[in-house]
Amino acid sequence: MLNIKNLHKHFGKLNVLNGIDMEVDKGEVVVVIGPSGSGKSTFLRCLNLLEVPTDGEIMFEGISITDKKTDINAVRQKMGMVFQQFNLFPHLSVQDNITLAPRKLKNYSAQQANETAADLLRKVGLSEKAKSYPDQLSGGQKQRIAIARALAMSPDVMLFDEPTSALDPEMVGEVLDVMKKLAKDGMTMVVVTHEMGFAREVGDRVVFMDGGVIVEQGPPAEVFTNPKHERTREFLGKVL
């Protein structure tokens, strides 16, 4: 589904990504871990071109999205993204946050969009919040709404950029639960996270990044219990 070849990203003289190759299959949950500054968030943001790669190619469902001729707006409709800081639209109600994109981009009728929103709100366990505004929600609730908003476009892949890093510890669980449910339903997911428990439990594959390259990857059981590289061992030693 996703095929990344030799991805480079430089910010001026700073080389953040130094040649990443990766494939993500349909239905796969790939968890990207690594120390701060390893380039994992930049990598994720390159996948939907929020950051424009300096070099390399990204294929998504057979289309090269790094090709300048590709309509990136159309591609993004099939790639949901969830941010560390939620980025809900504060001037819109929860329901409007979820229905805005389907109404404007997929020409859903108001009723159709509201039904979709109701389904999604049930899925993330926040049916009673449809009329609330983002400021009235806790961090965990905001992030669950943000997930619902991304799902409203029925994307083929979901990108998660440290979705629990800005949350109080007691709210991490509720967001991870929603993500687990999503994984179980067969959603293709690329998740950048510091939650090793989630990586181990839900990930089909764990990718360890450091210094802008993939150091090691494999099934969680293998990477966590038997890391091959010194840097992976060192990192896991610190976080586990």
Partner 1 sequence: MNFEFLGEYWHYFVDGTKVTLLLSIFTVVLGAIFGTLLSLMRLSGLTPVRLLATAYIEFFRGTPIIIQVFLVYYSLPQLIEGFRFPPFPFLEQYGGEFTAAVITLALNSTAYVAEIMRAGIQSVDKGQMEAARSLGMKPWMSLRLIIIPQAFRTVLPALGNELIVIIKETSIVSVIGLGELMFNADTVKGSLSKPFEPLIIAALIYLVITFTLSKLVGRLERRLKRSHA
Q: Which helix (H) or strand (E) holds 192?
A: strand 188-192
Paired sense of beta strands 2-11 and 29-33, if any: unpaired
Q: Rule CB under 8 A: is residue 142 a binding residue for partner 1? A: no
Stretch that binds partner 1, among 4-12, 112-120, 149-157, 177-185 (CB under 8 A): 149-157
CB-wise, 101 or 187, nearer to partner 1? 101
Q: Which is nearer to partner 1, 108 or 224 (CB)?
A: 108
Phi, psi (rounded to 5 degrees) for 105: -105, -25
- Report the distance separating Cα 199 and Cα 190, nearest Å: 11
Q: Which of 24, 79, 182, 206 binds partner 1 (CB under 8 A)?
A: 79
Tokens of 182: 């999503």
Stretch in the footprint of partner 1 (CB under 8 A) among 101-109, 112-120, 192-200, 211-219:
101-109
**91 sits near partner 1 (criterion: CB under 8 A):** yes
Site for partner 1 in 16-55 (CB under 8 A): 48, 50
- Give the distance, in angstroms, between the CA of residue 193 and the centroid of all CA atoms in the same chain: 9
* Smallest distance, partner 1 to C-beta of residue 102, A: 9
What is the layout of strands, in order, in the sheet containing 2-11? 14-24, 2-11, 55-60, 63-64
Residue 77 touches partner 1, criterion: CB under 8 A = yes
- Of the candidates 60, 83, 160, 208, which one interacts with partner 1 according to CB under 8 A? 83
Buried b (16+ CB within 10 A) or exposed e, 144-166: bbbbbbbbbbebbbbbbbbbbee
Cα diameter, the chain: 56
| 3-class secondary structure, 95 | helix
Candidate ranges 23-31, 98-106, 109-117, 225-233; the one touching partner 1 (CB under 8 A): 98-106
Provide, rounded to whole angstroms, the least separation between the CB of residue 73 and partner 1: 5
Q: Rule CB under 8 A: is residue 81 a binding residue for partner 1?
A: yes
Closest CB 227 distance from partner 1, rounded Å: 33
Q: Which residues contact 50 (CB under 8 A, 6 or more apart)?
A: 81
Q: Report the residue from 40, 129, 144, 149 that binds partner 1 according to the rule CB under 8 A.
A: 149
Could you tell me if 218 and 206 are in contact, meaning their C-beta atoms sit under 8 angstroms apart?
A: yes
CB of 121 to partner 1, least distance (A): 17
Alpha carbons 106 and 124: distance in angstroms, whole number: 22
Question: Of the two residues 18 and 132, which places its CB atom closer to partner 1 in the complex?
Answer: 132
Which residues are at the interface with partner 1 (CB under 8 A)? Answer: 48, 50, 73-77, 79-81, 83, 85, 87-91, 100-101, 104-105, 133-136, 146, 149-150, 153
